[in-house]
A and B are shown apart, each in its own frame.
Chain A
């Protein structure tokens, strides 16, 4: 018998993180009368104060990324950044060529954007990962054509935590004057991201993955020849006309504060995550039939994805309550189709649907990990007692 009476335990930090109290406090000064609520586009004193806050946040984010503030464009989040970066750059360079490269294991924000470009007449090559989930560099180089203009590869996979070799991919692109866009929604603020060293041209991020508010993100656009985007929206002229619309000052201030906090805590946070991941895997890794989705050595330690033989995914999610965990990608967890990412790793449909993504954060405790270990083991025992895949004679 399962016990579902306990309070929820949140282990879904890859879906979103709570706003850090320091971030929320910083934001609260930019909302109400008495605070700095004015439109930053206004030229009066209050507007200038708001504009100063926006630029201060831009500097905070630039510091986190080792970028220049003028290389950052505010957006509503990673999805919009991805759309602006990929569509904007593809259209900007369409007179040079219309061939683009990405992977089917990217987030839907990326793959659906490429599908939209295909409908505009662009040609897209989707490269399958190797069995470790990584882009095979020899296959990547072979796929590059004279008319290839843009490549998009994510830094950390949102389902498995697998880390792509952005340095090497970027070097390949630079040698051929191809733009590289990186979806860094899962890595910015968590893994060191030094854009003064990485050969990246466009990079998308969102605040809510690193303890900032939802509804604000940014696109990094390197200040180098040939790297530019055409706007998707029109009117207002904000963000140099590349992303017009009244800037949400409180959201931007929140992103800046979250970036500052991430920069000061990055090593401490990473060590904490490594400890939590090791504790969880040591607790569940010996359950018969369990499989780790992704590499132990080339994965972000804040995400641990596992599949299990003979267990149906939807029932597993209910049996795991009160754990709040991901079932494949959080963004498509209501979709019963099994994960493209996990199938690319060689998992069959049943194993892909049994996948559980545990993701941890700054506030996750060892006690919560121990509770998760107990819940997962109980859930597996419960469902195996029901399932014909595990009969007494099997």
Chain B
């Protein structure tokens, strides 16, 4: 672990996403057609759930719930922020190294971000099998 990581393990962007997780939580009850993708890690107990509402081929709403470290929460927030409004295929395009670089996530937390990638893939599989729409 670097000296910088020891003295301040969280970048300003991680702290900002962590403090303002606007995409956190389940979707409101009226979106009962939301599709869910989930991934968990038994060793640490970390867990990510993604909830999506899709209109035709576009991710209209994307929310998450996370039990995990600040880096994972920030990564989920950043991912939802970027993927909302994008084609469903975007869910498969999570750039793990790019996201880690953007948020300055230490390499030892790679497994946590891969958990987010797994949840996104699980969500994509469900969506491409049964694409739900708001109407």
Contact = CB atoms under 8 A, between A and B. Distances in A.
Query: Do these two chains really belong together in a complex?
Result: yes
Interface of A: 1-4, 310, 312, 314-315, 318-319, 334, 349-350, 385-389, 391-392
A389 B67 contact: yes
Contacts of B21: 385-386
B68 A312 contact: yes
B33 interface: no
Interface stretch (B12-20, B88-96, B99-107): B12-20
A387 B70 contact: no
Interface in B8-66: 10, 15, 18-21, 24-26, 45-47, 49, 65-66
A49 B49 CA distance: 70
Contacts of A1: 19-20
Given A1-B20, A315-B70, A388 B10 contact: no
Contacts of A2: 18-19
Interface hub of A3, A310, A315, A350 (most chain B Cβ within 10 A): A315
B73 interface: yes
25 contacts: A1-B20, A2-B18, A2-B19, A3-B19, A4-B15, A312-B46, A312-B67, A314-B69, A314-B70, A315-B18, A315-B70, A315-B73, A318-B15, A318-B18, A319-B18, A334-B6, A349-B45, A385-B24, A386-B21, A386-B24, A386-B66, A388-B66, A388-B67, A391-B26, A391-B65
A4 B70 contact: no
B67 A387 contact: yes
Given A385-B25, A386-B65, A391-B26, 18 more contacts: A3-B19, A312-B46, A312-B67, A314-B69, A314-B70, A315-B68, A315-B69, A315-B73, A318-B15, A318-B70, A334-B6, A385-B21, A386-B73, A387-B67, A388-B47, A388-B49, A388-B66, A388-B67
A103 to B, nearest CB: 27
A235 B120 CA distance: 64
A388 B68 CA distance: 10
A388 B45 contact: no
A387 B73 CA distance: 10
Contacts of A312: 45-46, 67-69
B93 to A, nearest CB: 24
A225 to B, nearest CB: 48
A389 B15 CA distance: 22
Nearest to B20: A1
Interface hub of A3, A319, A385, A387 (most chain B Cβ within 10 A): A387
Nearest to A387: B67
Contacts of B20: 1
Nearest to A321: B15
Nearest to A349: B45
A174 B19 CA distance: 56
Nearest to B40: A388
A187 to B, nearest CB: 30
B79 to A, nearest CB: 14
A1 B21 CA distance: 7
Contacts of A389: 67
Which 3 A-B pairs have CB atoms at the shortest separation, nearest pair first?
A388-B65, A2-B19, A386-B24
Contacts of A350: 45
A315 B75 CA distance: 13
Contacts of A386: 21, 24-25, 65-66, 73
A3 B19 CA distance: 7
A385 B49 CA distance: 13
B70 to A, nearest CB: 5
A349 B18 CA distance: 23
A23 B21 CA distance: 46
A387 B18 contact: no
A318 B65 contact: no
Nearest to A388: B65
A206 B116 CA distance: 46
Nearest to B21: A386
B19 A4 contact: yes
A104 to B, nearest CB: 22
A2 B66 CA distance: 17
Contacts of B67: 310, 312, 387-389
A344 to B, nearest CB: 20
A260 to B, nearest CB: 36
Interface in B71-93: 73
A7 to B, nearest CB: 17
B26 A392 contact: yes
A350 B43 CA distance: 11
B34 to A, nearest CB: 13
Nearest to B76: A386
Nearest to B6: A334
B72 to A, nearest CB: 8
